[in-house]
Amino acid sequence: MEIIEEENLVARADAIGRKTVEDLRRRLKSHSFVQDVRGLGLLIGVEIAGNKGDAIDRAERIMYASLRLGLNFKVSKGNILTFAPPLNVTEQELDQAWTIIEKAITEVEKRLA
Protein backbone atom coordinates (compact mmCIF):
# COMPACT_ATOMS: atom_id res chain seq x y z
CA MET A 1 0.00 0.00 0.00
CA GLU A 2 2.87 2.36 0.77
CA ILE A 3 4.32 1.98 -2.71
CA ILE A 4 0.91 2.52 -4.32
CA GLU A 5 0.52 5.76 -2.36
CA GLU A 6 4.15 6.92 -2.68
CA GLU A 7 4.25 6.36 -6.42
CA ASN A 8 0.70 7.68 -6.93
CA LEU A 9 -0.15 4.54 -8.90
CA VAL A 10 -3.93 4.90 -8.68
CA ALA A 11 -3.91 8.35 -10.30
CA ARG A 12 -1.36 7.13 -12.84
CA ALA A 13 -3.57 4.14 -13.69
CA ASP A 14 -6.53 6.46 -14.20
CA ALA A 15 -4.60 8.75 -16.56
CA ILE A 16 -2.98 5.94 -18.52
CA GLY A 17 -6.28 4.04 -18.65
CA ARG A 18 -8.09 6.99 -20.24
CA LYS A 19 -5.32 7.42 -22.79
CA THR A 20 -5.27 3.70 -23.49
CA VAL A 21 -9.02 3.48 -24.12
CA GLU A 22 -8.77 6.37 -26.59
CA ASP A 23 -5.78 4.76 -28.29
CA LEU A 24 -7.47 1.36 -28.51
CA ARG A 25 -10.66 2.90 -29.91
CA ARG A 26 -8.59 4.61 -32.60
CA ARG A 27 -6.54 1.49 -33.37
CA LEU A 28 -9.50 -0.91 -33.47
CA LYS A 29 -12.21 1.25 -35.09
CA SER A 30 -11.73 -0.34 -38.51
CA HIS A 31 -12.25 -3.88 -37.19
CA SER A 32 -15.75 -5.21 -37.76
CA PHE A 33 -15.37 -7.69 -34.89
CA VAL A 34 -14.93 -4.89 -32.32
CA GLN A 35 -18.19 -3.53 -30.95
CA ASP A 36 -16.89 -1.36 -28.08
CA VAL A 37 -13.80 -0.45 -26.08
CA ARG A 38 -14.27 0.73 -22.50
CA GLY A 39 -12.32 0.98 -19.31
CA LEU A 40 -12.03 2.09 -15.73
CA GLY A 41 -8.46 2.90 -14.83
CA LEU A 42 -6.36 0.06 -16.19
CA LEU A 43 -9.25 -2.42 -16.26
CA ILE A 44 -10.01 -2.42 -19.97
CA GLY A 45 -12.59 -4.34 -21.98
CA VAL A 46 -12.87 -4.87 -25.71
CA GLU A 47 -16.34 -6.15 -26.61
CA ILE A 48 -16.46 -8.47 -29.58
CA ALA A 49 -19.45 -8.08 -31.92
CA GLY A 50 -21.83 -10.70 -33.25
CA ASN A 51 -24.72 -12.82 -32.10
CA LYS A 52 -23.97 -14.60 -28.84
CA GLY A 53 -22.50 -17.75 -30.39
CA ASP A 54 -20.44 -15.93 -33.01
CA ALA A 55 -19.15 -13.34 -30.54
CA ILE A 56 -18.05 -16.02 -28.07
CA ASP A 57 -16.30 -17.98 -30.83
CA ARG A 58 -14.55 -14.86 -32.12
CA ALA A 59 -13.43 -13.80 -28.63
CA GLU A 60 -11.98 -17.24 -27.93
CA ARG A 61 -10.17 -17.31 -31.27
CA ILE A 62 -8.72 -13.84 -30.60
CA MET A 63 -7.64 -14.90 -27.11
CA TYR A 64 -5.82 -17.99 -28.43
CA ALA A 65 -4.23 -16.04 -31.30
CA SER A 66 -3.01 -13.50 -28.74
CA LEU A 67 -1.61 -16.27 -26.54
CA ARG A 68 0.38 -17.59 -29.52
CA LEU A 69 1.75 -14.06 -29.96
CA GLY A 70 2.70 -13.75 -26.28
CA LEU A 71 -0.21 -11.92 -24.64
CA ASN A 72 -2.36 -13.45 -21.92
CA PHE A 73 -5.72 -12.07 -20.77
CA LYS A 74 -9.15 -13.37 -19.89
CA VAL A 75 -12.49 -13.28 -21.64
CA SER A 76 -15.45 -12.09 -19.56
CA LYS A 77 -19.14 -12.72 -20.25
CA GLY A 78 -18.12 -14.82 -23.23
CA ASN A 79 -17.26 -11.96 -25.58
CA ILE A 80 -15.35 -9.26 -23.71
CA LEU A 81 -11.56 -9.33 -23.94
CA THR A 82 -10.57 -8.18 -20.46
CA PHE A 83 -7.20 -6.64 -19.64
CA ALA A 84 -5.98 -5.81 -16.14
CA PRO A 85 -2.28 -4.95 -16.37
CA PRO A 86 -0.32 -4.11 -13.23
CA LEU A 87 -0.49 -0.52 -12.00
CA ASN A 88 3.19 -0.02 -12.82
CA VAL A 89 2.92 -1.15 -16.46
CA THR A 90 4.86 1.01 -18.90
CA GLU A 91 3.35 2.70 -21.90
CA GLN A 92 5.75 0.70 -24.08
CA GLU A 93 4.42 -2.56 -22.62
CA LEU A 94 0.84 -1.43 -23.25
CA ASP A 95 1.70 -0.52 -26.83
CA GLN A 96 3.18 -4.00 -27.33
CA ALA A 97 0.00 -5.56 -25.92
CA TRP A 98 -2.28 -3.52 -28.19
CA THR A 99 -0.14 -4.35 -31.22
CA ILE A 100 -0.63 -8.04 -30.41
CA ILE A 101 -4.39 -7.52 -30.02
CA GLU A 102 -4.56 -5.79 -33.39
CA LYS A 103 -2.65 -8.62 -35.05
CA ALA A 104 -4.80 -11.27 -33.38
CA ILE A 105 -8.08 -9.58 -34.36
CA THR A 106 -6.85 -9.11 -37.94
CA GLU A 107 -5.80 -12.76 -38.10
CA VAL A 108 -9.18 -13.99 -36.85
CA GLU A 109 -11.15 -11.64 -39.11
CA LYS A 110 -9.22 -12.91 -42.15
CA ARG A 111 -9.62 -16.54 -41.11
CA LEU A 112 -13.39 -16.19 -40.69
CA ALA A 113 -13.97 -14.03 -43.77
For residue 73, how many other CB atoms are within 10 A of its CB? 19
pTM reported for the whole predicted model: 0.93
- The rounded distance, in Å, linking the Cα atoms of 88 and 78 is 28
Helix axes 52-69, 91-112, angle to 10 degrees: 130
**Predicted local distance difference test score (pLDDT) of residue 71:** 98
Reported as a single tens digit per residue, the pLDDT across 48-106 is 999 999 999 999 999 999 999 999 999 999 999 999 999 889 999 999 999 999 999 99
97: containing domain: 2-112
The domain tally of the chain equals 1
Q: Find the CATH number of the domain harbouring 101.
A: 3.90.1150.10
